[in-house]
Structure 1
Amino acid sequence: MTPLYYAISAVLVGWHNVFGEIFGPASGIAWVLSIIGLTLVIRAALIPLFVKQIKSSRNMQLIQPKVKELQKKYGHDRERLAQETMKLYKDSGTNPFASCLPILLQMPIFLALFRLIDQAVKNPGDPKGFMTVTLNEQFRDATFLGAKISDTFLGTDDTSVRLLAAFLVIAMTATTFLTQRQLMSKNMPADALTGPYAQQQKLLLYVLPVVFAVGGIAFPVGVLFYWTTSNLWTMGQQFYVIRNNPAPGTPAFAAKQERVKAKALRKGHVVDAEASQESLDTATGTVEPPAPRVQPKRQTKAQRQAKKKPPQGH
């Protein structure tokens, strides 16, 4: 964890130097904004992974009809079914575990931040990474809305801490649920709502929020700010992708088609609206593009003259 302590504390201290100049280095708002800044830096760095996750998730949705065919064909042979399913994933460039990667990669960062706060509270004289004794003491004592950001819901009887922690736990749980629900209700075709992949998504939909709600009461307020901000980023990022690049055959795709039509009609170009619709359908694979025009073969002068020469009578 030592490299992570240095990386996380470097970003955290960097933001704190900025906000400390504005609000005061010992102020709670400076530390809260520093945690939010840390979250934004981490999530920006994970954008390429998020794009890969979206592509893999879309492929998983689109190959569900083929997965069902394999289940019907090899349902009696579980080993052969597993082999053929993995072959289908490989051929389509799909990773069934890609949807979990952003969460898995964030967990070490989450734990490193948790340990930095815990160290500041329990042993401020032994700082980790780029934190100093003075920064640890400021971090430990910083208050926001009357609550110390190093306290937890279970670790104090302070009403202000419990109210803020409870609000953040609810916000963290709700944003986790809504993010997953957004994906399932807007960007999954009807065929993908049944089968193993759908069951996996439904499991994540209900299990993850419960896990975060139960664990959240033991997290410091600062960590709750981190995770809630990360969830809000995910919601916004996912909304943008679903709205602008939806999977074919989904409610989001139909909504985008309607927006394209309405935009063209508002400009008074009915023909353009139909053309835009055809372009959108072709680009997303809803209809096949027209076959390329086949050019006639070039002929020699003798061949052209032979065609023009009238047939001789008997």
Structure 2
Amino acid sequence: MDLFAFPPLALLLDLATRALLALTSLLEPLAGGLAAALAVVVVTLAVRMLLIPVGVSQARAEQTRARLAPRLRALQERWRKNPERLQRETLQLYRDEGSSPFAGILPVLAQAPVVGLLYAVFLRAQVGGHANTLLTHDVFGVPLGRSLLGALTTGTMDAATLAVFGTLVIVIAGVAELTRRLLRPAVDPSAPAWTTGMLGVLQFTTAVVALFVPLAAGLYLTVTTAWTLGQRLLLRRRYPLPR
């Protein structure tokens, strides 16, 4: 089912696309042929700034989980044969601390509508019954609507496409590696042991996603990944994890 087939969402998508195109026109005197790409970067930065409170909420939740980890482990050892009692005691512990085990999840969900709208703009050839001309703009000759996978399957792969997407993937993967090295995740004693390794792998999934989405979406992923690392480093200093 196409959610953006519903009139209110279709209108929202059309307005978002027109706003990006208007920003592109505004930036053309400054950026020339890269104006659309710069518009994507500007919008991404604006979205990330609006979501700073979400990042703060996540940092606080991560700090709380890390601080409560020893007490959560004690609860697990005491009530591991009684899952219902363990669940009640865990929820009560978080309530006593003025937090929730879902505190780190809800902020992520808050981003979903914004990210979903941005992706819809980037992925659609037509919006509001007219061509999405945003995707006709390019970065060093590579259209914003082109994906690496699409270039491979349609025979339009060239050196510029490979270089641009390769650069984005390298940057995203590099940021993921820095995130893995610099930001030790808060341990959740209630999670299975294998999830620790899985979290390390998930750091690099964004780089894989960038291979399949249009270049505009790849730019969004690159900017937001770098922003997230910088923001988390600053917030980790404000909300340090217990050693």
TM interval, short-chain normalised: 0.7 to 0.9
Match of 1:209 among 179, 204, 212: 204
Question: For this pair of structures, how many residues does the alignment match?
Answer: 229
1:206-264 CA deviation, whole Å, 9 max, x = no partner?
23423x343322101110110110111111111112234423x33xxxxxxxxxxxxxx
The answer to whether 1:242 aligns with 2:236 is yes
Measured in 2, the distance between the counterparts of 1:34 and 1:216 equals 19
Q: What is the correspondence of 1:32-111 to structure 2 with a 5 Å cutoff?
A: 32-111=37-116
Measured in 1, the distance between the counterparts of 2:107 and 2:178 equals 17
Gaps of 5+ in 2: 152-156
Aligned-pair distance for 1:166? 2.7
Aligned-pair distance for 1:102? 4.7
Match of 1:154 in 2: 149
Between Structure 1 and Structure 2, whose CA radius of gyration is higher?
1
| Counterpart residue identity of residue 148, structure 1 | P
Gaps of 5+ in 1: 128-132, 251-314
| Counterpart residue identity of residue 24, structure 2 | H
- Report the TM-score when normalising by structure 1: 0.64
Range with greater deviation from structure 2 (101-110 or 80-89): 101-110
Aligned-pair distance for 1:164? 1.3
Aligned-pair distance for 1:152? 0.3
Query: Does the 8 Å contact 1:4/1:109 carry over to 2?
Result: no
Match of 1:12 in 2: 20
Query: Does the 8 Å contact 2:61/2:104 carry over to 1?
Result: yes
Match of 1:126 among 123, 126, 129: 129
Query: Does the 8 Å contact 1:177/1:205 carry over to 2?
Result: no
Aligned-pair distance for 1:10? 5.7
Measured in 2, the distance between the counterparts of 1:204 and 1:8 equals 33
Query: Does the 8 Å contact 1:179/1:234 carry over to 2?
Result: no
Higher relative contact order (CA 8 A, sep 6+): 2
CA 18–112 in structure 1, closer or farther in 2 if over 3 Å, else same: same
CA 178–160 in structure 1, closer or farther in 2 if over 3 Å, else same: same
Aligned-pair distance for 1:111? 3.4
CA 152–203 in structure 1, closer or farther in 2 if over 3 Å, else same: same
Match of 1:116 in 2: 121
Once the two structures are aligned, what percentage of the paired residues are identical?
Answer: 26
Match of 2:183 in 1: 183
CA 198–235 in structure 1, closer or farther in 2 if over 3 Å, else same: farther
